[in-house]
Structure 1
C-alpha cells in the first residue's frame, strides 16, 4: 500500500484522548475537526515550571534521490519509545504547499511510521502558513502605503529589503515590477516574491517564546534603508502590532497523532537550506514540559540541519539535547559510493564502504557538539545482510553503534531495540551540549568556523564588500548573532553533485543578509533560490480527488 492508503486506514482517536496522554485538559485544546487541535497559550504558560524531559535530535546524512527516511525515523522512534513504555512525543515541521505540488510531494513520515491526518497536514492544516503569508504581505502593503502617502521616514525606494511571499513554487514571481498603471497606484519599483517558508516571519514564529517575544522580534525586522544607509524597522512602519494579531492563533502549536495514536506536535516550517530548518521553539519546549522523551528533527543532512539546530535553536532557546540519531540507508551509502540510482537494487558492499565516508563525516561533526549519538539504519526490503553489516562495522570503527530499524514496515515495534538503546544512552549521562562557536566570535570567523569545521573547506572566499558589511553589522550591535548558512543540502560543498566527504575546496559566500528579528545573519553560499520553480512534471499533475471522494497522488 502507498503511504496515503496506509494513512487513510488509520484508526485515529479523538484529539482530546491524545492530549490526555500528555495531561492536557480538553478545555485547553482548540479543536480543528476531531483529529487535530491547537494547544492554548494559557496551558503552555501553566506548565512552564515543569521539569524538562529528554530531548532527542534525529538528523541524517546528506539527502540523496535514494531517500533516507529522516522524518519516518523521527516518527518511528517516537512510537518505539512509547512501545517500550516511555511517555514520548514527537515534534516535526509543517509541510509547505510549494514542495507538495512541486517535486517533493507530501507526507509526514512513511509506511507504518506516519503522522495523521496526512491530507490535512500536507494542505491547509490549521492555517498557520496562510497566517504567516498574510502577516508578511501586510507589512509589504504598509511599506508601499507609507511611501505613497509622503514617505515620512525617508525610505530610499531603491533599498527596500522586504519582498513579498507566497506559499507556492512560482518562478515567474522571483523578480517583478509593482505599481504600474499611473499615479493612483503608487511609484513603480522592482520587487519580488519568496516562498513563505523563506520569510523572516516564519523564522521568527519558530524562534519566539510567546506573543510578547513575537511582537518584539517582528518590530526588530529591518525592512528598508534610507539614503544615508540607516535602517528602517518594522516598528517604524507600525505594522508589528497588526502582524502579531494575525499570528496570534498561529503561535499556538498543533497537536496531532501518529498511526499508533501517540502525540505529535507539528508546528512551523522554516526552509532548512535558507533559514534554520527546525520546528517551533514553543512546540519543542511545550513537549518537553509534558513528556519524558521528545523526538525532534532538523532539516536535511547534519551539516545544515543539526548544525543550525545546535548553533541557532538550542543556543537561542536554552535547549540542552541529550542524544542524537543519525539516519543512514544502505541505498544512500551506495549512491555516495558512486552507484547510479537505477543500479541500487544490486548488492554492492564495496560501494557501501566507499560511501560511508559521508556518514563518517557527519558522525565526526555531531561529536563536536558534545551530545552522544547512535546511527539508525533505515531498512529497505532489498538491503542485504552483507551491506548492513558493512555499515555496522564502519560505525563500530568510528566508535558509535548502528542499529537496523524496520519501523517503515512494522511501526514502533520495528524500532524498539534502538529506542531502548537511546534511553540507555541518555540514562548513562555524558551529554554536554556546547555550540560550535562562542557568541562573541566575529561574524566572518563564525562563517569560516562552520565552513572549516563542518564542511571541511580549506577556506572561505568573501570579497571585501561582504566583509565590510559584516563589520558594519558588528559595529551596529549585531556581532553576537549566530550565523545561518544557506547552501545546497546535497553536498558539503556548494556543488550539489559532489557527494561523499569532499576536501580541497573553498566555500564561496556571495551575499550576506541580516535577519535582525529572527536573530541571525544569513550567509548565502553558491546558488540558492528563495523562490523555487516547478519541475517539468510537477506533483500537482497527479493529485486529484477520485470517484470515492478521496485525495490521490499526495503520496
Structure 2
C-alpha cells in the first residue's frame, strides 16, 4: 500500500498567512513578529497584557515507552488539537522544537505526521526561527568567558579542575564527548579536560523553557553554577558577568513561535529539551500564553510517561503552578506486540496473544499517571495493519485498568478521525475529576526524591549510588538546594536503565552514575546507567539521504 510521505503531505498544505492564524487567538498584527509568511513570534508586551485573563484547561499527551514500531505522540497531540477545534472548542497546541542532531541522525522530525502535522515542516525541522542557535551561542559565550577569566588572572580563584560548565552544539557528535581544550602553548590558555553536550541538554535550554519573562530569564542565568574554587566555593554565571550578554542573545528566542496545523489551527512551537537527558517539555511561556488564549491547550511531554510525564508533573507543573485537567497516553497495537516479544519484521501479522502480553507496559503508565491525580484516557494510534481483534484486546485490557482506550485515525483522516478522543478529553476535563499533586514534596531530602521516582514510577527495588554521590547531594542540601526537584537522565526505552528490557519489569535496581546541579533551571540532574548527554550518529545516519531535489525541495526529512 503506497502512502504519501509526511513531507509530501506538508508540502501540499493550504497554509494561511500567520496574521490570520494569530487573529483566531486575538493576537493583533502589530504583536506578531513574522519570520516569512507562515511563522511568527509573539511579542513580550502582548504576553504581559494577558496576565488578568482566566486560564483554559491543560491536557497532557504522553505515551508508552518508545519502540522501533512507532507510537505517534506528536501526531496525536496535533490531531487532538485539530479534533477539539472540530467539535467547537477553541484549542491551542503546544509542542517542542526539533533538534538538528536527531533529524540528521535517526529519530526524525518533531512536527507530527500524516494528516496531523504542524507546518512549515521543513523549516521547523531545520533552523526554524533560530532559537536553538541563540541558545547554543549564549551557552558557549559563557564557556568562552570562563576560560577568558582564568586566562586573564583568575581573580575569582576558579579551580581549573572544577569547571563544571561544558560546551554545546546542536548536532550528534560522539567525538566531542570528552576533549582537552587550550592546547598549543601559553597564548591559548591553561589546558583542561572538558567536553560537549547536545544543545537540547544545555541548562540554558532548560532555563529558557522554565522562565516566565526576560527578567526571570536573566536571574536564572545568573544562578548557573559554572565552577568551584579550591575551597569548593561555587562560582556563578553572574560572577563571570555573562548573564546580561546571554540574555541579549536570548531576547528573541524567549518569544514563543506561532505556526499552524494542516487544518489551519494555531500551534505554539517553542523550546526543546530532550526528555531522556533534560525535562522534555515545551516552554512555560508558550504554555501559559496558550492557556490565556484558548479554552483547551494540548501539550506533549517527550518519550514515555516514566520520563516526560513525570518531569512535566514534577518539574514544569510544580515550578509554573500548572494544574493539568486530563492526560492522554498514546499506544499502538504494533508497540504492544513488540513489548510482547514480536520482532519488528513480524508486526504486520495478527498476534492477539502478543498484544495481551505487551499490554502491562501500558498498564503501568496508566497507573503511574493516575497516581498524580490526573484522569487518563488511552489513544490507540491506528496503523492500517491493525486487526479488530488486536484493537479490542487493547481496549479490554485498558477497561480492566479502570480507563478507556479509543481508536484514533487522525494520521489518515485528520481531525475527523479523532473526534471520539476529543469528546472524551472534554468529558474528563470538565468532570472536575483532576486533583493534581506532584509525586513528592519540595522538602523531601534529595536522595529520597530519587528513590521515590525509582520505586514508584520505575518500580525498582533500590537505587545504587556511591558514597561520593550521596555526599554531593548532602552538600547541595546544606547549600540551600535541597528543595529542588529531580530530573532523571535515563534511557527512554525501558522502565529500567537497560534499554533492551521491555514490558513492565520489577526487581531491578537504578544505578546513579553522576549528579549535576542545574541551579539556574532549578533542578538536580541524576544520570542513570549508560545515558549519554551527547548522542552519536547511527551507522547509517538520516543525513545520507537528505538532499535538495531538482525542484529545490528538501527530500529525506521525515
With normalisation by structure 2, the TM-score equals 0.99
For 1:105 and 1:325, how far apart are their aligned partners in 2? 23
2:389 paired with 1:389: no
Partner residue in 1 for 2:278: 275
2:352 paired with 1:349: yes
SS of corresponding position for 1:16: helix
> Does the aligned pair in 2 maintain the 1:455–1:493 contact within 8 Å?
yes
Partner residue in 2 for 1:12: 15
Q: How does 1:401-440 map to 2 (within 5 A)?
A: 401-440=404-443
2:120 paired with 1:117: yes
For 2:176 and 2:144, how far apart are their aligned partners in 1? 17
**Which of 260, 263, 275 matches 1:257?**
260
> Does the aligned pair in 2 maintain the 1:277–1:299 contact within 8 Å?
yes
For 1:189 and 1:468, how far apart are their aligned partners in 2? 25
Q: CA deviation at 1:107?
A: 4.2
Partner residue in 2 for 1:29: 32
Q: CA deviation at 1:174?
A: 1.0
**Which of 213, 220, 240 matches 1:237?**
240
**How many residue pairs were aligned?**
555
2:466 paired with 1:463: yes
- Please list the CA deviations of residues 277-302 of structure 1 after superposition, one character each: whole Å capped at 9, or x if unmatched: 00000000000000000000001000
Let me know the Cα RMSD of the aligned residues.
Answer: 0.6
User: Unaligned regions of 5+ residues in structure 2, if any?
Assistant: none
**Which of 489, 511, 516 matches 2:519?**
516
For 1:82 and 1:420, how far apart are their aligned partners in 2? 11
Partner residue in 2 for 1:43: 46
Partner residue in 2 for 1:98: 101
**Which of 491, 494, 499 matches 1:496?**
499
- Please list the CA deviations of residues 252-274 of structure 1 after superposition, one character each: whole Å capped at 9, or x if unmatched: 00000000000000000011111
> Does the aligned pair in 2 maintain the 1:3–1:107 contact within 8 Å?
no
For 1:168 and 1:375, how far apart are their aligned partners in 2? 34
SS of corresponding position for 1:374: strand
Partner residue in 1 for 2:194: 191
- Please list the CA deviations of residues 471-493 of structure 1 after superposition, one character each: whole Å capped at 9, or x if unmatched: 11101000000001110000000
SS of corresponding position for 1:303: helix
> Does the aligned pair in 2 maintain the 1:107–1:554 contact within 8 Å?
no
For 2:435 and 2:387, how far apart are their aligned partners in 1? 37
With normalisation by structure 1, the TM-score equals 1.00
2:534 paired with 1:531: yes
For 2:537 and 2:240, how far apart are their aligned partners in 1? 34
SS of corresponding position for 1:305: helix
> Does the aligned pair in 1 maintain the 2:96–2:110 contact within 8 Å?
no
Q: How does 1:121-140 map to 2 (within 5 A)?
A: 121-140=124-143
2:549 paired with 1:549: no
SS of corresponding position for 1:304: helix
Q: CA deviation at 1:186?
A: 1.0
Q: How does 1:475-490 map to 2 (within 5 A)?
A: 475-490=478-493
Partner residue in 2 for 1:363: 366
- Please list the CA deviations of residues 505-540 of structure 1 after superposition, one character each: whole Å capped at 9, or x if unmatched: 111111111100000001111011111111111100
SS of corresponding position for 2:357: helix
SS of corresponding position for 1:283: helix
**Which of 55, 80, 85 matches 1:82?**
85
Q: CA deviation at 1:388?
A: 0.2
> Does the aligned pair in 1 maintain the 2:97–2:110 contact within 8 Å?
no
> Does the aligned pair in 2 maintain the 1:370–1:431 contact within 8 Å?
yes
Q: How does 1:136-155 map to 2 (within 5 A)?
A: 136-155=139-158
SS of corresponding position for 2:525: strand
2:231 paired with 1:228: yes
- Please list the CA deviations of residues 108-152 of structure 1 after superposition, one character each: whole Å capped at 9, or x if unmatched: 100000000000000000000000000000000100110010000
Q: CA deviation at 1:188?
A: 1.5
> Does the aligned pair in 2 maintain the 1:81–1:419 contact within 8 Å?
yes
SS of corresponding position for 1:522: strand
Q: CA deviation at 1:237?
A: 0.1
**Which of 504, 507, 515 matches 2:510?**
507
For 2:117 and 2:361, how far apart are their aligned partners in 1? 27
For 1:427 and 1:92, how far apart are their aligned partners in 2? 23
Partner residue in 1 for 2:250: 247
For 2:161 and 2:475, how far apart are their aligned partners in 1? 20
For 1:286 and 1:220, how far apart are their aligned partners in 2? 25
Partner residue in 1 for 2:185: 182
SS of corresponding position for 1:58: strand
